[in-house]
Amino acid sequence: MKKLFTHYENCALCEHNCFVNRKTDEGFCKASEKMFVASEMVHVSEEVLINPTYAIFISGCNARCNFCYNSETAFNPQKGVEVSPKLLAKQIDFRLLQNPEVKTVSFLGGDPIPHLPKILETISFVKTKTSFVFNSNFFLTQKVLKKILPFFDIFLVDYKFGNDFCAEKIAQLPNYTQVLQQNLLVFQKQKLLEKLLVRHLLMPKHFDCCFVPIVDWFAKNLDKVNFSLLLQFAGSQKLSEKDKFLALTYAESKKLKLVF
């Protein structure tokens, strides 16, 4: 954990590899060494594997998706209330005591990657027994991923794009396909596939370029992984019922392990 804290002075937590001193300068995500929580709530609309969860929405993100429904928080890492790991851990204990039915605690955003050092410290201070979920776009370095594997019980991967062109054009994420696939294969190599839950948000007009390549890759490489298909795209365009039917039919035809 101590080594992760050095990233605040020379940040390479994610694959943007800005190498900036976040105490004085800004990298791509514009996050400093301070962690801000935009909101927190008990969430009951997640996948059955993590539901209900105590969701902690951390401000800031290392992607710039042009359809982001939460851009005010994701693109402003100082939105909300600044919290220390000890204070956030006390809040988690308090919420879990209030809500004994809660199964997991989820760190999401924005994206939690820019604040991984303080999130891990927070986890170390939590006294209540629970399961921790890392809900992320997974555009982090493999070196960092391997360090955080013991700290989380579920890694919820938001796998959005099936090719590099869409990823860079829509979200400013270069070399996306290689980064995501190499990180996902770490779980196979480490025999930790039971920790993995993958989401894909079906986007209008991205069936052939994004959805199909992602499904095909999982069918070939990680067909036993829990795969969640989201059909509630919140951008200006909407999915048709035909889009949804075709996606579900295609995923089922590839025998993916669909979870809801």
List, for residues 200-229, the tens digit of each pLDDT value: 999 999 999 999 999 999 999 999 999 999
- % of the chain at pLDDT higher than 90: 93
CA distance 51 to 40: 15
Task: Locate the domains of the chain by residue range.
Answer: 2-258
Both tokens of residue 13?
Answer: 């937590």
- Say whether pLDDT at 232 is over 90: no
Residue 69: predicted pLDDT: 85
- 226 φψ region: left (φ > 0), alpha (ψ -120 to 50), beta (else): beta
* CB within 8 Å of 183: residues ≥ 6 apart: 138, 140, 142, 145, 157
Environment class of residue 15 by beta-carbon count within 10 Å: exposed (0-12), middle (13-18) or buried (19+)? buried
Helical residues (DSSP H) of the chain, grouped into ranges: 2-5, 71-74, 85-98, 116-125, 142-148, 164-171, 176-189, 212-221, 241-253
**CB-CB contact of 247 with 200 (8 Å):** no
Gap between the Cα atoms of 141 and 17, Å rounded: 8
SS3 at position 58: strand
pLDDT of residue 70: 86
Provide the pLDDT for residue 38: 96
Answer whether 83's CB lies under 8 Å from 38's CB: no
Mean pLDDT of the residues in the chain? 96
pLDDT at residue 237, rounded to an integer? 82
pLDDT given at position 154: 98
Task: Quote the CA–CA distance of 95 and 104 in Å, as a whole number.
Answer: 11
Which tokens in the block code for residue 165? 């062109």
Mean per-residue pLDDT for 7-27? 96
The arithmetic mean of pLDDT across residues 251-256, rounded, is 96
Exposed, middle or buried, 23 (CB in 10 Å: 0-12/13-18/19+)?
exposed
Share of the chain above pLDDT 70, in %: 99
CATH, range 2-258: 3.20.20.70
Select the more confidently predicted residue: 133 or 237.
Answer: 133
pLDDT in tens, 160-190: 999 999 999 999 999 999 999 999 999 999 9
Check residue 207 and give its pLDDT: 96
pLDDT for 155 equals: 98
Q: What local confidence, expressed as pLDDT, does residue 233 receive?
A: 85
**Confidence (pLDDT) at 238:** 84
Local structure of residue 96 (DSSP, 8 states): H
> Per the confidence metrics, is the pTM higher than 0.75?
yes
